[in-house]
C-alpha cells in the first residue's frame, strides 16, 4: 500500500480509502466486516462513511452502515488502527427522515455527530465532512449552475460550530463534500482569518467526470487542501460490467435503475473507447480507471467501493499500477472526444 497524510496534519492515510455505502443494503453486516478485515490486512487504514448510508436513502436502513462499522470496531478493538471519516447530511427533502432541520446549525451538527459516534461506537472522528452544501450547487449529475439568491452566507458560523466539537475532542479535522471552487475558497477565506481550516474536499471524480480538473484542482494545490475521490468507477460503469447493454444480477444500476448518472449514450461510447485502451495494453478497465484517479497530482485518497471480496481485491491491487504516458495520452484523446459526459 502507498500512504500520504491529510494536508498539514500528522494523520497518515492509505492512498486507497474503503468506501462503505452499500453495507446495510447490498451487503450484510458479515460482508461489511469481511471487507474491512481484508482491507486492513492489505494496508488500507482509511474508511469513509456517512450518517445517511446505506444507499439508496431509506428510513429503514439509515445509519446501518455506521452501525456495521461500529460493531466491527467493537469486536476487534482496533479503533487506533483506522482513520475514520463520516458526514452530516445536507438539505434535501428526501432525507427529512434523518432530521427536520437539515442544515449545518450547531444544533443539527450536534445531533448528527452524537448519533454517528454512538452508531460507530467511538468517541471521536478523524475527519468530519459536510456531505453537500446548504446552498444550491450543480452536483449529482447537474451540469449547469442555477443561482439561489435566498441563501445567506453562514460559513463563519458553520466553522465556529464545527470548531467547538474539535475543542471537545469529538472531531480531529473537518472537510467538505460535493463542493465547488467558490465554496472551498469561501471556507479558506475564513481560515485565513483564524477559523478552523477545511482540509479535504470529497467529490465525484472518474474518467467520465473530470470537471474538477478545470477549476478546483488549482485551488486544492495552492490552498493545500486534500482531495478524496468518490465514484472512481462511476457506479461500476467503468468496470465494464454494463457494456453491450449487460445488466448483471445484483449490480447497483441493475437493482436501482434511477442511478443513471453515468449511463448516458455519451458515457457509454466513452466507456467503450476506454475499454479498448485497457485491452490494448493488457490491463483491466477497472484497474486502469482506478489508477488514473489515484495518480492525479491533486489526489489524496481514492475511495473505492465493492460488494464482494473479488471486486475489493482487484480495486486494492490497482495501487500497484502506474499508467504510462502513452496510456494517459490515449485516455486524454477520448476525453477530448467525450469531455465530462457525466458531471
Q: Which of 3, 53, 187, 205 is catalytic?
A: 53
Q: How far apart, in whole angstroms, are the C-alpha atoms of residue 30 and residue 68?
A: 8
Q: How far apart, in whole angstroms, are the C-alpha atoms of residue 227 and residue 225?
A: 7
Q: Which three cell numbers stand for residue 275?
A: 475499454
Q: Return the HEC string of the chain.
A: CCEEECCCCCCEEECEEEECCCECCCECHHHHHHHHHHHHHCCCCEEECCCCCCCCCCCCCCCHHHHHHHHHHHHHCCHHHCEEEEEECCCCHHHCCCCCCCCCCHHHHHHHHHHHHHHHCCCCEEEEEECCCCCCCCCCCCCCCCCCCCCCCCHHHHHHHHHHHHHCCCEEEEEEECCCHHHHHHHHHHHCCCCCCEEEEEEECECCECHHHCCHHHHHHHHCCEEEEECCCCCCHHHCCCHHHCCCCCCHHHHCCCCCCCCCHHHHHHHHHHHHHHHHCCCCHHHHHHHHHHCCCCCCEEEECCCCHHHHHHHHHHHHCCCCHHHHHHHHHHHHHCCCCCC
In DSSP notation, 139-154 reads -TT--S----TTPPP-
Q: How far apart, in whole angstroms, are the C-alpha atoms of residue 132 and residue 299?
A: 19
Determine whether 53 is an active site residue: yes
Positions marked active-site:
53
Amino acid at each position: 500500500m502507498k500512504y500520504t497524510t491529510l494536508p498539514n496534519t500528522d494523520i497518515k492515510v492509505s492512498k486507497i480509502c474503503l468506501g462503505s455505502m452499500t453495507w446495510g443494503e447490498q451487503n450484510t453486516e458479515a460482508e461489511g466486516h469481511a471487507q474491512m478485515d481484508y482491507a486492513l490486512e492489505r494496508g488500507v487504514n482509511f474508511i469513509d462513511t456517512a450518517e445517511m448510508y446505506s444507499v439508496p436513502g431509506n428510513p429503514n436502513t439509515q445509519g446501518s452502515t455506521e452501525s456495521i462499522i461500529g460493531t466491527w470496531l467493537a469486536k476487534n478493538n482496533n479503533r487506533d488502527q483506522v482513520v475514520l471519516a463520516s458526514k452530516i447530511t445536507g438539505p434535501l427533502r428526501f432525507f427529512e427522515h434523518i432530521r427536520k432541520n437539515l442544515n449545518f446549525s450547531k444544533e443539527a451538527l450536534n445531533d448528527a455527530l452524537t448519533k454517528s459516534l454512538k452508531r460507530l461506537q467511538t468517541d471521536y472522528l478523524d475527519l468530519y465532512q459536510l456531505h453537500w452544501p446548504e446552498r444550491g450547487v450543480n452536483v449529482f449529475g447537474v451540469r449547469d449552475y442555477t443561482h439561489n439568491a435566498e441563501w445567506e452566507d453562514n460559513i463563519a458560523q458553520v466553522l465556529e460550530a464545527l470548531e467547538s466539537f474539535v475543542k471537545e475532542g469529538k472531531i480531529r479535522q473537518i472537510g467538505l463534500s460535493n463542493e465547488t471552487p467558490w465554496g472551498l475558497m469561501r471556507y479558506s477565506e475564513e481560515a485565513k482569518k483564524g477559523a478552523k481550516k477545511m482540509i479535504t474536499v470529497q467529490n465525484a471524480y472518474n474518467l467520465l467526470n473530470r470537471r474538477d480538473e478545470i477549476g478546483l484542482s488549482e485551488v486544492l494545490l495552492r490552498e493545500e487542501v486534500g482531495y478524496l475521490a468518490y465514484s472512481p468507477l462511476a457506479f461500476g460503469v467503468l468496470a465494464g460490467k454494463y457494456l453491450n447493454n449487460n445488466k448483471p444480477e445484483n449490480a447497483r444500476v441493475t437493482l436501482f435503475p434511477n442511478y443513471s448518472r453515468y449511463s448516458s449514450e455519451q458515457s457509454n461510447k466513452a466507456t467503450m473507447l476506454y475499454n479498448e485502451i485497457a485491452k490494448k495494453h493488457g490491463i483491466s478497465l477497472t484497474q486502469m480507471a482506478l489508477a488514473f484517479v489515484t495518480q492525479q497530482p491533486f489526489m489524496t485518497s481514492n475511495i473505492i467501493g465493492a460488494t464482494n471480496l473479488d471486486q475489493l481485491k482487484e480495486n486494492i491491487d490497482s495501487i500497484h499500477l502506474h499508467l504510462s504516458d502513452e496510456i494517459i495520452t490515449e485516455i486524454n484523446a477520448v476525453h477530448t472526444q467525450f469531455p465530462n459526459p457525466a458531471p
